[in-house]
Chain A
Amino acid sequence: MAREVRTVDEAVARFDAIAARWDGRTVEAAAAQRRHLGRTAAGIGRRVVFIVGALAALLLAVSLFGLLIQPIGATGLMIAAVAGIAILAGGALWRGAPDRITWDEKAPTGKVIAQLESLLVRARAALPPAMFSRIDSISARLPLLEAKLAEADALDPLAQDARRLMGKHIPDLIDSYAKVPAAWRDAPGGDGLSVDQRLATSLEAADGALADMAERIVADDRRDFETKGRFIEAKYRDLGEG
């Protein structure tokens, strides 16, 4: 019998697992893809809201003009039609948020992480298959880091390092990898490492650093919990037994 799904998170996790099996990808990749699609859908949603809102405002303006001032006539109709077309064209051509904003120390953490995740989803196909597991591993760490960094003090050095790594260093690495033509990626460089091999070691280091940061952030919560546990034990254990 199928296990009962109790929460939205469980349902989403199950969806990711099924999607991963279907595409032959890992669960982490499917989850990252879903979050990326979610953000894309949100962008489209904002566009639709803009078009519908603008058209409604135009219709209202034309109606009020016709009712209160004077009938709009053929010219008015023409102007309204042109305005309507302009709104539709504007909505369709509007680029929305750019895929990649330039790195800024003050960029909101959520945006930095969302951008990295989308970048990883888009770049995944262009990277050697050997990198997939590493990219998935990095993607899998992002939701936790996003949640925890949102609570962290912006001046915390750990948070700053994490933001810089995710917002600048990894995107820069992937961009500069993409610039090397595919045919030259196998050739060994000065110290014997090919471009692909160096990408592998770099991503490994980045993944390790993110794992470290996540561990250190979680360690704070663990310490806090441990302290509260110790306090309750110190204060109440003997009373309870007595």
Chain B
Amino acid sequence: MAETKLKLEAPDALAPLAPAEAAGLVPVEDSVKTKLDNVVDKFVAELVAADANSPEFGRKVDELTNMGRKQIAEAAGHSNRFLDRPVRAIDKDSGIGANLTELRRTVEDLDPGRRGSLAPRKLFGLIPLGGRLKGYFRSYQSAQTHIGSILARLSSGKDELLMDNAAIDTERAGLWKSMGQLEQMIHISKVMDARLEEKANELDATDPAKAKAIRESALFYTRQRTTDLLTQMAVSVQGYLALDLVKKNNVELVKGVDRASTTTVSALRTAVTVAQAMTNQRLVLDQITALNTTTANVIDSTGTMLKEQTGAIHSQAASSTIPLETLQRAFQNIYETMDTIDRFKAEALGNMKTTVETLSGEVEKSKGYIARAEGVEQGKLAGTTSPLVPLEG
């Protein structure tokens, strides 16, 4: 019989990412870059044309201090939401843990291995003892409602995990968009930095006062904004990766839950066959055995492998001379599945905690910058619309 070992792998914890490494992860098209370069050139030309002491110059510098504020605020909004997810993922697993424990307890009561007197070697050929065997199989009937309700709860817990993953996908799509905008702003601020530096060097000979003003205000604020943008970008990128991690954890857990349900139902089906073979009585467990065990549309190949495996156990149970051992093996499958889930959860929990710590640190760092950006904006209701914005699309 082909063994299909359940393997649940906890994704690795997230490593911290330096702000300098954050840029360039989301591609910006060359045509967009050219357009942004033109905007920067125009802005720098206007800035240089203005008198260094004029309100016009001051307004331009204000635009620089404000550069990317909206994009940072938007990306920060995402960070606040996504930080919540891994934390919740640690705190609860939709009651799945408790349900699995309950399932294990219920299933252990039915385990033929724990009812020594049922061993087939002792019973083989002794008809009078068949009564005890019948009693054993009757306990399945009384347990089936309970098992059925646990399986239903597991299935609804699985739905919660799927819903969580759908929310993560939505969040990641939004995050991707706002990272694209941040990337454009980073491009703007880096080009701005280079152009301002160039202009200041040019002006050193002809108009040193303006060169100084450009270096001390425009260039200074541009560099500050570059740092802010890169910091937020690092947070967003890590959040994006962390969300993927939570999603992978959920997928693994869904796999585990599916497998636990399938092995349970498979064991009960085996019991039906074994009962038929050993006591010549029909064990009716319609409520459970009718369950569709191949709900694994999320988990691709596992479903098919399980189907084959279940079929194999089934035919073996009917033909084998030692049917109770087959039943025993079916129970062993359940235990193995649950042990694997437990191991996975312990490992995933550790990795998730590391990730949350990394992320919290990054988000804290970026909060300082956001506060500063907000401070700049305070009391600045009036003002012209800045040209320094990312392009749509």
Chain A interfacial positions (CB closer than 8 Å to B): 165, 169, 173, 190-192, 198, 201-202, 204-206, 208-209, 212, 216, 219, 223, 226-231, 234-235, 238-239, 242
Answer whether residue B297 sits at the interface, using C-beta atoms and an 8 A cutoff.
yes
Complex CA gap A204/B159 in Å reads 46
B381 in contact with A230 (CB, 8 Å): no
Answer whether residue B312 sits at the interface, using C-beta atoms and an 8 A cutoff.
no
Nearest B residue (CB) for A200: B382
Complex CA gap A201/B170 in Å reads 36
Complex CA gap A230/B298 in Å reads 13
20 A-B contacts (beta carbon < 8 Å): A173-B381, A190-B55, A191-B59, A192-B55, A192-B56, A201-B383, A206-B381, A208-B385, A209-B381, A219-B174, A223-B174, A226-B173, A227-B163, A228-B163, A234-B165, A234-B166, A234-B298, A235-B159, A235-B298, A239-B297
Given contacts A191-B55, A192-B55, A238-B297, are A202 and B166 in contact (CB under 8 A)?
A: no
Q: For the complex of A and B, list the 6 residue pairs with the smallest distance between their C-beta atoms, beginning with the closest.
A: A230-B166, A191-B55, A231-B166, A202-B382, A238-B297, A227-B167
Nearest A residue (CB) for B54: A191
Given contacts A223-B174, A234-B298, are A228 and B384 in contact (CB under 8 A)?
A: no
Complex CA gap A216/B178 in Å reads 13
- Scoring A204, A219, A234 by chain B CB atoms within 10 A of each residue's CB, the highest score goes to A234
Nearest B residue (CB) for A189: B55
Complex CA gap A203/B166 in Å reads 40
Measured between beta carbons, the chain A residues less than 8 angstroms from B171 are: 223
Complex CA gap A235/B163 in Å reads 9
Our pick among B55, B70, B166 for the contact of A228 (Cβ within 8 Å) is B166
B170 in contact with A227 (CB, 8 Å): yes
B162 in contact with A234 (CB, 8 Å): yes
Instruction: Give residues 185-201 of B contacting A (CB, 8 Å).
Output: none
Q: Chain B: how many interface residues by the 8 Å CB criterion?
A: 23
Instruction: Give residues 139-176 of B contacting A (CB, 8 Å).
Output: 159, 162-163, 165-167, 169-171, 173-174
A223 in contact with B170 (CB, 8 Å): yes
B163 in contact with A202 (CB, 8 Å): no
Chain A min CB distance to B16 (Å): 28
- Scoring B56, B77, B159 by chain A CB atoms within 10 A of each residue's CB, the highest score goes to B77
Measured between beta carbons, the chain B residues less than 8 angstroms from A198 are: 382
Chain A min CB distance to B168 (Å): 9
Interface of B is mostly: helix
Measured between beta carbons, the chain A residues less than 8 angstroms from B381 are: 165, 169, 173, 202, 205-206, 209
Measured between beta carbons, the chain B residues less than 8 angstroms from A229 are: 166
Nearest A residue (CB) for B160: A231
B162 in contact with A204 (CB, 8 Å): no
Complex CA gap A80/B216 in Å reads 82
Our pick among B162, B173, B298, B383 for the contact of A205 (Cβ within 8 Å) is B383
Complex CA gap A234/B300 in Å reads 13
What 0/1 pattern do residues 46 to 58 of B give for CB contact below 8 A with A? 0000000001100
Our pick among A201, A216, A234, A238 for the contact of B382 (Cβ within 8 Å) is A201
Measured between beta carbons, the chain A residues less than 8 angstroms from B385 are: 204, 208
Complex CA gap A227/B159 in Å reads 13
Measured between beta carbons, the chain B residues less than 8 angstroms from A227 are: 163, 166-167, 169-170
B162 in contact with A235 (CB, 8 Å): yes
Complex CA gap A104/B173 in Å reads 39
Complex CA gap A208/B386 in Å reads 12
Complex CA gap A239/B292 in Å reads 12
Nearest A residue (CB) for B81: A223
B169 in contact with A230 (CB, 8 Å): yes
Complex CA gap A234/B297 in Å reads 9
What 0/1 pattern do residues 352 to 393 of B give for CB contact below 8 A with A? 000000000000000000000000000001111100000000
B55 in contact with A231 (CB, 8 Å): no
Nearest B residue (CB) for A237: B297
Measured between beta carbons, the chain A residues less than 8 angstroms from B174 are: 219, 223
Complex CA gap A54/B257 in Å reads 70
A231 in contact with B384 (CB, 8 Å): no
Measured between beta carbons, the chain A residues less than 8 angstroms from B159 are: 231, 235
Our pick among B70, B77, B163 for the contact of A231 (Cβ within 8 Å) is B163
Chain A min CB distance to B103 (Å): 22
B162 in contact with A231 (CB, 8 Å): yes
Complex CA gap A209/B55 in Å reads 24
B382 in contact with A230 (CB, 8 Å): no
Complex CA gap A165/B55 in Å reads 26
A226 in contact with B55 (CB, 8 Å): no
Measured between beta carbons, the chain B residues less than 8 angstroms from A226 are: 170, 173
Complex CA gap A229/B162 in Å reads 12
- A-B contacts besides A201-B384, A227-B166, A235-B159, 16 pairs, CB < 8 Å: A191-B56, A198-B382, A201-B383, A205-B383, A216-B77, A223-B170, A223-B174, A226-B173, A227-B163, A227-B169, A227-B170, A228-B163, A228-B166, A234-B166, A235-B298, A239-B297
